[in-house]
């Protein structure tokens, strides 16, 4: 009886060992993510939403920061392909110059989920998830027009980034044909607070007359605010951004800026991961998902978490 028991226990131990080895050797899915810049807190929140969802499934996410350099981002993508990624979460620096990396992904069989801002060559993309950027720009212009019967406007743009380009286009289309609203300066802020601070400071040196600033994202709008405050000229200027970031909402609360059209990096990130797993399971996925934007101002700020994202 004892001999039989020892034999049974030994067999069970061997089976358990083999099962354990199988679990440890189980293939995990490997995802890659690369962003135009991690200098904007928006992308940290977006990345965290992706990472949490991927890691909750026991899978791996390799993250890269391109530092606003498309050549660097392309090289990062080539490296990610070599590291065995199956799906790439891509936020491009330059919607056109990213094409060689898109081609490399196609050749390697890596699926691409385009997040936050579209690439130009969408035929390489499995799915795109972004905010309704055109709507975001229009909402800022609509609010401005309710506050001012006429205005001289500075635009701070980033034409290489499709999301910002569409926001600016939405703003401009809303004021088109109305001579009471004029764009007096159109500058490139590269989506960075420091760059926007410099370009607005340069405009101030020209003694340019303006009373509205529209920044294509919150960092550029906050850069404009910094330049105005440094020059002591921040009174009676409406400042608009796009993102709905905690920093910008805090400035709304203090009365330093006017409004921001919100984005939800958390929703974008989680949706991107859902699409990714559906694709891995062979399910049909939506090729384009557009999320609505809401304007946040002093009047409705109480409905939002100032310290967090939407």
Domain coordinates in residue numbering, the chain: 30-130+264-291, 133-263+298-303
Cα separation, 215 vs 76, in Å, equals 29
Determine if the pTM surpasses 0.85: yes
Name the nearest CA neighbour of 153 among 294, 262, 230, 258: 258
Superfamily of domain 30-130+264-291: Response regulator (3.40.50.2300)
Going from the C-alpha of 260 to that of each of 33, 72, 138, the distances in angstroms are 27, 31, 11
Is residue 24 over pLDDT 50?
Answer: no
Provide the pLDDT for residue 27: 54
Fold equal for 30-130+264-291 and 133-263+298-303? yes
CA-derived radius of gyration, the chain: 24
Is residue 9 over pLDDT 80?
Answer: no
133-263+298-303: which CATH topology? Rossmann fold (3.40.50)
Confidence tier at 26 by pLDDT (50, 70, 90): low
Is residue 18 over pLDDT 90?
Answer: no
H or E element, residue 130: strand 127-131
């Amino acid at each position: 009886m004892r001999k039989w028991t020892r034999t049974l226990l030994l067999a069970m131990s061997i089976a358990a060992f083999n099962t354990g080895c199988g679990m440890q050797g189980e293939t995990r899915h490997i995802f890659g993510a690369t962003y135009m810049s991690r200098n904007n807190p928006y992308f940290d929140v977006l990345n965290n939403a992706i990472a949490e969802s991927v890691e909750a499934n026991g899978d791996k996410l390799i993250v890269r920061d391109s530092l606003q350099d498309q050549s660097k981002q392309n090289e990062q993508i080539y490296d990610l392909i070599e590291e065995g990624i199956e799906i790439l979460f891509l936020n491009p620096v330059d919607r056109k110059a990213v094409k060689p990396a898109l081609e490399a992904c196609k050749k390697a069989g890596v699926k691409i989920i385009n997040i936050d801002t579209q690439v130009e060559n969408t035929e390489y993309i499995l799915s795109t998830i972004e905010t309704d950027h055109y709507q975001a720009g229009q909402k800022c212009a609509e609010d401005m027009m309710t506050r001012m019967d006429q205005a001289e406007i500075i635009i701070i743009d980033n034409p290489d980034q499709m999301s910002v380009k569409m926001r600016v286009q939405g703003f401009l289309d809303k004021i088109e044909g109305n001579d009471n609203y004029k764009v007096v300066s159109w500058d490139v802020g590269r989506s960075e607070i420091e760059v926007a601070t410099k370009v607005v400071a340069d405009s101030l040196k020209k003694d340019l007359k303006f009373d509205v600033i529209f920044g294509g994202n919150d960092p550029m709008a906050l850069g404009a605010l910094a330049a105005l405050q440094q020059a002591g000229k921040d009174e009676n200027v409406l400042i608009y951004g796009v993102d709905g970031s905690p920093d910008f909402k805090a400035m709304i609360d203090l009365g330093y800026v006017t409004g921001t059209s919100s984005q939800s990096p958390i929703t974008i990130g989680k949706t991107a991961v859902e699409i990714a797993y559906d694709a891995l399971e062979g399910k049909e996925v939506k090729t384009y998902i557009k999320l609505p934007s809401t304007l946040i101002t002093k009047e409705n700020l109480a409905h939002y978490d100032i310290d967090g994202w939407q």
